[in-house]
Structures are given as structure tokens and as C-alpha cells.
Structure 1
Amino acid sequence: MKYYLAIDIGASSGRHMLSWIEDGKMRLQEVYRFYNGMDQVDGHLCWDVGRLFAEIVAGMKECKKIGKIPTSMGIDTWAVDYVLLDDKDQVLGNTYAYRDSRTDGMDALVYEKIPQEDLYARTGIQKQIFNSIYQLMAHKTQEAELLGKAKTFLMIPDYFHFLLTGVKKQEYTNASTTQLVNAKTNDWDYDLIAKLGYPRDIFLPIEMPGTEVGHLSQTIQDQVGFDCSVVLPATHDTGAAVMAVPSLSDDTLYISSGTWSLMGTELKTANCSPDSMACNFTNEGGYDHRYRYLKNIMGLWMIQSVRKELSPDEEFGSICEHAATETITSIVDANDDRFLAPQNMTAEVQAACRESGQKVPEGIYQVAAVIYNSLAKCYADTVREIEKIEHVTYPCINIVGGGANAAYLNELTAKATGKTVYAGPTEATAIGNIMAQMIAAGELQDLAEARKCVFHSFEIKEEKGC
């Protein structure tokens, strides 16, 4: 039996998922789970990459304990955040988290070098103030000395792969989220990098998912008790999740539903048009040079925050079920930046309702109902925008990721969009990570075969639209 290990690290937790093929179906086993979260360091929100790597190693030891040694492994994480390494491969300064406010005003400095319209035409990436392009401008203006010492720029999962193998490789899907990759060449836009005054030499050649990084270093082998190959998955978690969308049609809408809701479709050619920019769609890199044409919607981060504030011990499923019984119809703009990192999400939702003259929700179930209503409306608006821009009518929406379990939200989405909603698999990110490894190993032939395998391996729930 060949085992494959996906280490999937999100903004709030990480897990080690083993997978194998048995009776023609993909099987999954969670072997380790750990906490993740942003820490306050010197007044900034940061990631503790040292602690996260210790958790990576700890989970690998669990594979040894249960006697299931992976043939290969790969790590995916969230996007846009990075480390800068010096000439001794040590991390320079803090590893900032994307919700940190240091990027405030950095967009204006970027647009002094290149107009926003030209930037979108080159990269096809939507404006998000936390994109790496703005984070690097913050480094340049606030910590120029550190940026000057940098010898290597690595996205977070690429840094972890380096710690495992001693080999540095920069993976494509995550690199595309920096807003520094040219949408036509699928390579770093070095002219753009020069315009912005970022050091060219820190950016490594871009590699595609399925590329072998190397084998575990001897130091890591001694710690975990085995050796295996490290293979690049789609290291951006959404890139991995989209791989696992169990549709065999090219005209497919998806929502990768988790902390963020990423809603869109796959394109073979990036859409960098003014209309696309006006609707704030992004063209992130996908497996096999496909483009993930999507919009970032605030997502279940809002529910996660409200739960933490009002009812931290209650299960999300219970919150969703109780919200379904509420009759409140208030709606907020879930994409408003006010919900990105408020001091209190509950108070922010209530304030938004109050300011717009709507009923103000009280208690976790009413607040959750407002959030679910608002997300469904965002999804419906996004469907209409995609269909207008792409001149395609989509028959259904595939929801993957943890949010696929939110039955009430799926029901609202079906009603708001008028589309049939298919929900699942919930472990899409880990599955997509493993798909890239299995294709690289020859166990699955290509993406189409891998998606067929996912379709037949996991339960997919259906919710009819109006």
C-alpha cells in the first residue's frame, strides 16, 4: 500500500492527512491536528513559523507510530505571506500575518510606480491590501535594512519544504497570489519588480505542482524515523481545494468555503479585462496552468469570530442549525473591509445593521443568521457578475471545504442563486494536495482521472435551487 501525506495548514488550525487508494477509491485518515493563530509581536500580527514547523515534525512522527510511512508528502497553507532569508538562510525579522495593519497606505505607494489599471492588466490579481506586493512595499518603507539583507523570498509552504529538505523551490499557485507574477508568462514580472524597487535576485524560479523538491534531510529523517519524497502540491490551499472540485465539466462554479469563501470558475486563459477588474475578480494560478478566476468573499471568518466572542464552546453545526430558525432578514456587505480584522466582530455586524437602518441582531444565532444571509447574497451577486463577464450560464455550484457542512448556508445559497448546489468533499484542500502527489507518482493519470476518483470516493450532498 502506498501512502501519501498532506499537511494542510490554515489560519486557525493544521492537520496531517494520510491517503491511499483502496478498491479504486481514495481513502483518508487524519493522524494529527494542531492549533494555528496569529500572535501579537511588537504591536504586529505575526506567525510563529518555528512553532508551526515543530508541529509539522510532530505529526510526521505520528505516521511512524501507526506504521503508515508516506511515499511522499507535501504542505499547503494560506496565501500571500512569506519569509525573507539572509545569506545564512535565517529568517529576517518578523513573519507578518496578512491581517496586520502595516500595509495600510501601501497601495498608494505601489500605484505611484505603476497605475492600478496597468497592474491588473499585467497580473490579473484582484486588489487586496494584504497581497505580497503591498507587504513588500511595507518592508521597503518600514524595514528597508532587512529587505536589503534578504537573499531569498519564500512563501510560507515553500519555507517549510526547505526546512524539510534543504532545497529551496518556489511553487506556482502560491507565487501567483503575490501580485508579482505575469498572467501571460506565468513567471515573475521582473520589469514590475524593478519598477517597485524590490531586489530581483531574491525571487527563485517558479515550479509547478507535481515537482519533486527532494528527500527529507538526514536531520529530519533522524527526528521522524523515516525518509520520503517531498513533492510540491498546489501549495496555496485554495489551489489545492479547487483541484478537488468533483466536476467533470469545464463550465463549473465552485466555492472553496472556509475562513475565506473563494468563489469562481476555472479558465484556460486569464481574464485581465477592465470589466473583470471593475468587479474585482482575480486570476490566481491553478494546477496545469489553469486559472482560478474567483472573488475573495469574507467567508466563515465572520462566524468563527462571533463564535469565539459569544459561544466558544458551541459546535459550528449547532450554531448553523439554530440560525436556520431565526427570522431576521438584515444583511451586511460581507466584503466590506470593516470585517477583515475588527476588534469585535459581533459589534461590527450590529453596527453595520444599525447604520443601514435594519434590525440589529441580538445573540449568537441572530448574528449568525445575518452573516449567513449576507454570504448567500454575496454568492448570488458574484454568480451574476461571472456569468455576465464570461457569457456563460452555469447550472450548478460546487461547494468544497469545511463550509460544505453548513447545511443552512448551502440552502440559502441555492435559493439566492437559483442554482443546484453540490456540497462536498469537506476535506477538499487535503484531497487536492494528495491528488498532485498521486498524479506525480503515476497512481492517477491526470487531473480528469483524479477528479473522477474524488467524485466516486466521497459523499456529495445536493441542494436544489429555486
Structure 2
Amino acid sequence: MENSNTAASQFLAFDFGASSGRAILGEIKENKLTLKEIHRFSNEPVIFSKHLQWDILRLCHEVKQGILKCKNEGIHIRSIGVDTWGVDFGLLDEEGELMGNSYHYRDERTQGMMEKCFTKIPKEELFKETGLQFASYNTIYQLLSMAEKRDKKLYDAKTLLLMPDLINYMLTGEKVSEFTEVTTTQLYDYTKSCWKENILEKLNIPKHIFTGIIKPGMTVGSLKEDICRELNVPSIKVIAVGGHDTASAVAAVPAVGENHVFISSGTWSLLGIENDRPIINDKVYKYNFTNEGGVNDKVLLLKNIMGLWILQECKRDWEKQGKIIGFPELVSLGASEEGGKSFIDPDHELFYGPGNMPEKVKEFCRNTNQIIPESIGEIVRCVEESLALKYRWAIEKLEEITSKKIDTVHMVGGGIQDTLLCQLTANTTGKRVVAGPVEATAIGNIIVQAQASGIIKDVAHGKEIIRNSFEMVEYKAMDNEKYAVNYERFLKIISQNK
């Protein structure tokens, strides 16, 4: 093993978010990790004809540009890791060629597919077999929509690869499926560590398209010779990291002890705890929590909460009206408003699709006989307080499921730059909130690569490096009695609008 105090090692993380992607270089030296953004690019989905799709060819091009920029700066990359969102996939034909763009998880083709699935597999049985939450975007329902339409692509396909695995295939030519990403499909068997073939049979989904499963830290392969020639770079290892971006973000949570929850805050808010095995019981089923794979053989018991998507969509609508407002200004406007006027349920189906989001917030408040937020600041305050209150609800349900008393909330990801949301989380939960690091997903990606290379000894060593390298900000609860009253109002509102 190399001595991390003397040897500098540089790792390249490709982190794909729902609106942008980045190539982040991580260098570990003297027990510290430093980050450098090498390349940033847009990742906006495209509507072509009737469907919302990812521009996968453009994304592959941008990955090559990130590698090329490293070469041009004289950077020696030890390895590459790729993480993306979950559930979406691409199909390859007999020749290994992509059969079309990957569909976006918010595309409407999965409407009604959960209900159709439950006619073939009872809902409770499906949960007991997979431990996963019920969400219309899960891979299982995307595939069922193709099977129900007898989509020729599904039955002509040779291989299915989830998004990070598809990028890895482009780089290496290797067709493998990474564990954390596989667990988002609702087609994984935790007891046997394999795909659920009985479910595939019942839904008429071909079994032969699924590949072998590898764990984070394993080597996928090395850059293909043709890419090395194209970019004029040497062979570079590609490591399977936490391919699901949530798994990579949680790998960067530097908390110590067992009495904390994490919130990976961004477009989605993923709130949960790490376990050694899935928890599959009546309460997890009742509250629609999910068991998703983590790195280092962990399983994440999570609640998926809509997150900052609602504000991102509001911002897009305001910009269409000529109101160009940055997120720091939005946060400031929200902080200047009086709280407790009105609340939404961030996870209500009304807020799932894109477009016209400010009006949707008003519509929800109107339908629940609340004060209707009119100004930008009032809408921001309504959304952010509602998110924080939903965090409290999810934490209480986790305490009920696990019989643990949570004392700390550790928030990571880009959303922690929203200081109003961090403070409201402390206020509503009455718990200590620790925020940091911001670039959690890229950091977790790099930490897994470094662990695979032997630069990092183990999980504890990785957390030590993160604490040495990045600032943490603590928020303490204020006006908790007032927020306790708000919480009771919030609970009534969400119970009436399921």
C-alpha cells in the first residue's frame, strides 16, 4: 500500500446530475483531498416527438472532452469513475450499438404502469421480494411499458445497461452492471445478490438482456484502444464506484456514530441511514421507504423527497417571464418573508412533472384552503419550509422503523448552499444539523477509486480525509416551539392530500 502522506494520486470523477455534468479531478496528498473542476457541461433532456429523452451521445462526447482536458493540462489520471442518477438505461443490439436515446425518468410513458404491474404481481409481494419503494419512474415500470406495447427494441436488444454502466461501456467496451445502480430498478434480489428472474418472467421482460453485477471498487476495465488513439492518451483504469449518485454522495458523509441521518440535497432530497442489510417490513412498506445499495456492502434505507426540483422549476418559469434571479437571491427573498403562512406536500404528484411550477404551488395552497403565496419570496418560503417539515416527517418515521433516536442530521450536496433550507431543517426537526461537504457525490466517487487503488485504507480513513479537507457548518435549532405548531398543520395538510 502506498503512503497517502507522501504520494499524490489523482482520480477523475464524472458526476452526472439532472441538469448538468462535471468532470472533477481529485488529488489525495498528505491525508487531504483537493478538488478541481476540469470540465462542466449541460445535461438538459430533450423532447423529440412525444418523449422526454437524454442526449446520451452528447454526454459520451463530454466525457471524452473531460479526459482530453486532463491530458492537455499534463495531468496523469490514475483511474476514472462514473456516477449518474438511477433507474434509466440504454439498450444495445447484437453489434453492441446503441439502439436509441435513453428515456428520461420523468417521461410520461410509465403512466398507469404501476397499476398494470400489480395485476401481474401483487404490490405487497413485489415489495417483499425487492424492498424497493413504489415510484412510477422505476426501471421495472419503464420496461413494463415497453413490454405492454410489444416494443420491438426491447425484444431485439442484446444488452441492457443502466446509465453509468452505459458510459463505462463506451469507455471500456465492457458490459457489466454496478450494484448500487441495479438496486434502483426494483428488479434486484438482495437474498441471492442477482436479478429477480421470476419477476422478469411474470412481466414478459427478456432475461437475457441483463448482465453480471459487480460491486463498487471493482475494476470495470481500461480505456479502449480506439479511445486511447482518438484522444492520444495512455490506457486508464475505469473503476466501478457508487454508480448511483446517491450511493456516492453517502460515501462522502463524514459523520461518526450511528445516531445520525444523512440528507443528500439537490434536485432530489435523499434522507436515510446506512445498514448492513435491507430492512423489509410492514412499516417500511406503509411509509414507502426504499432499500438501495450503498458502497462498502451497505444498504441505504431511504426516503426519496422531491427536493429542490420545485424551486428549480419555479426559477425556470420566472426566467421565461424575464425575471432572471440567481439561487442566492431566491434564498434571500425567501428568508425575508414571514414563515408559517402556507405549506405544500413536496411529494404530491402535482409537482412531479416539469412546467408552470409557481402556479402549481398556488394551486395546491388554493385547494387546501391556505393563504396563497403570490410573490417570489412567498413561494420560495412556502416551498423551503415544506421541504424542511417533510424532512422531520421522514426522520420520525425512520426512528419508528429502526427504534433509534436520531440526534444529528448530516446534510451534503449542492443543496446545502441554500442556508435557509439548512436552518429551517434545524428549526423544524429540533436537531443538530451539520452541513458539508458540497461536492459530496464527486468526493464519494473519488474516495471509492482511492480505496480501490490502496491509497485509502478503509472507510474510517476515507472519512478522516474528508473531515481534514472540507469545511462543515453547524446549524442549531431556533423557535422550535413555533415550528412544532407548524408541523401539526403540515401533517393535517399532507394527510388530506395523499
TM-score (norm 1): 0.98
My pick for the range that moved more, 65-74 or 377-386, is 65-74
Residues in 1 aligned to 2:312 and 2:111: alpha-carbon distance in whole angstroms:
24
Aligned pairs for 1:386-465 within 5 A: 386-465=398-477
Residues in 1 aligned to 2:228 and 2:76: alpha-carbon distance in whole angstroms:
12
* AA partner of residue 62 (structure 1): K
Shift of 1:69: 2.1
Residues in 1 aligned to 2:100 and 2:69: alpha-carbon distance in whole angstroms:
32
* AA partner of residue 402 (structure 1): G
Residues in 2 aligned to 1:151 and 1:109: alpha-carbon distance in whole angstroms:
26
Aligned pairs for 1:228-307 within 5 A: 228-307=236-315
Shift of 1:93: 3.6
Residues in 2 aligned to 1:371 and 1:65: alpha-carbon distance in whole angstroms:
44
Residues in 1 aligned to 2:232 and 2:335: alpha-carbon distance in whole angstroms:
49
Residues in 1 aligned to 2:462 and 2:100: alpha-carbon distance in whole angstroms:
41
Residues in 2 aligned to 1:58 and 1:252: alpha-carbon distance in whole angstroms:
39
Residues in 2 aligned to 1:254 and 1:377: alpha-carbon distance in whole angstroms:
15
* AA partner of residue 349 (structure 2): D
Identity of aligned residues (%): 39
Matched-pair contact (CA < 8 Å) for 2:159–2:209? yes
Residue 326 (structure 1) aligns with: 337
Shift of 1:274: 1.4
My pick for the range that moved more, 109-118 or 25-34, is 109-118
Unaligned regions of 5+ residues in structure 2, if any?
A: 1-7, 481-498
* AA partner of residue 242 (structure 1): V
Residues in 2 aligned to 1:405 and 1:44: alpha-carbon distance in whole angstroms:
33
SS in 2 for 1:248: coil
Match of 2:26 among 19, 30, 37: 19
Residues in 2 aligned to 1:246 and 1:419: alpha-carbon distance in whole angstroms:
17
* AA partner of residue 10 (structure 2): Y
Matched-pair contact (CA < 8 Å) for 1:252–1:266? no
Q: Could you list the structure 1 runs, at least 4 aligned residues long, displaced by more than 6 angstroms after superposition.
A: none
Report the RMSD for the aligned CA atoms in angstroms: 1.2
Residues in 2 aligned to 1:138 and 1:251: alpha-carbon distance in whole angstroms:
41
Aligned pairs for 1:195-210 within 5 A: 195-210=202-217
* AA partner of residue 119 (structure 1): L
My pick for the range that moved more, 214-223 or 9-18, is 214-223
Matched-pair contact (CA < 8 Å) for 2:318–2:324? no
Aligned pairs for 1:94-243 within 5 A: 94-226=101-233, 227-243=235-251
Residue 324 (structure 2) aligns with: 313
SS in 2 for 1:288: coil
Residue 9 (structure 1) aligns with: 16
Residues in 2 aligned to 1:258 and 1:10: alpha-carbon distance in whole angstroms:
9
My pick for the range that moved more, 188-197 or 284-293, is 188-197
SS in 1 for 2:87: coil
SS in 2 for 1:70: coil
Shift of 1:224: 2.5
Matched-pair contact (CA < 8 Å) for 2:259–2:408? no
Residues in 2 aligned to 1:56 and 1:358: alpha-carbon distance in whole angstroms:
47
My pick for the range that moved more, 422-431 or 197-206, is 197-206
Closer, same or farther: CA 321–186 of 1 in aligned 2, 3 Å: farther
My pick for the range that moved more, 124-133 or 287-296, is 287-296
My pick for the range that moved more, 180-189 or 431-440, is 180-189
Corresponding pairs, count: 466
Shift of 1:51: 0.7
SS in 2 for 1:430: helix
Residues in 1 aligned to 2:266 and 2:75: alpha-carbon distance in whole angstroms:
29
Residues in 1 aligned to 2:90 and 2:160: alpha-carbon distance in whole angstroms:
6
Matched-pair contact (CA < 8 Å) for 1:183–1:283? no
Any idea what the Cα deviations from partners look like across 1:404-459, whole Å, max 9, x if unmatched? 11111111000101110000100000000001100000000112211121122100
Residue 364 (structure 1) aligns with: 376
Shift of 1:342: 4.0
Residue 38 (structure 1) aligns with: 45
Matched-pair contact (CA < 8 Å) for 2:93–2:99? yes
Shift of 1:143: 4.5
Residues in 2 aligned to 1:144 and 1:350: alpha-carbon distance in whole angstroms:
39
Shift of 1:185: 2.5
Residue 348 (structure 1) aligns with: 360
Shift of 1:221: 1.1
Aligned pairs for 1:79-90 within 5 A: 79-90=86-97
Residues in 1 aligned to 2:149 and 2:259: alpha-carbon distance in whole angstroms:
45
* AA partner of residue 316 (structure 2): K
Unaligned regions of 5+ residues in structure 1, if any?
A: none
* AA partner of residue 248 (structure 1): V
SS in 1 for 2:420: helix
Residues in 1 aligned to 2:439 and 2:150: alpha-carbon distance in whole angstroms:
39
Residues in 1 aligned to 2:411 and 2:29: alpha-carbon distance in whole angstroms:
25
Matched-pair contact (CA < 8 Å) for 2:17–2:85? yes
* AA partner of residue 326 (structure 1): E
Matched-pair contact (CA < 8 Å) for 1:251–1:265? no
Residues in 1 aligned to 2:34 and 2:327: alpha-carbon distance in whole angstroms:
25
* AA partner of residue 138 (structure 2): N
Matched-pair contact (CA < 8 Å) for 2:317–2:355? no
TM-score (norm 2): 0.92
Residues in 2 aligned to 1:83 and 1:288: alpha-carbon distance in whole angstroms:
27
Residues in 2 aligned to 1:212 and 1:114: alpha-carbon distance in whole angstroms:
36
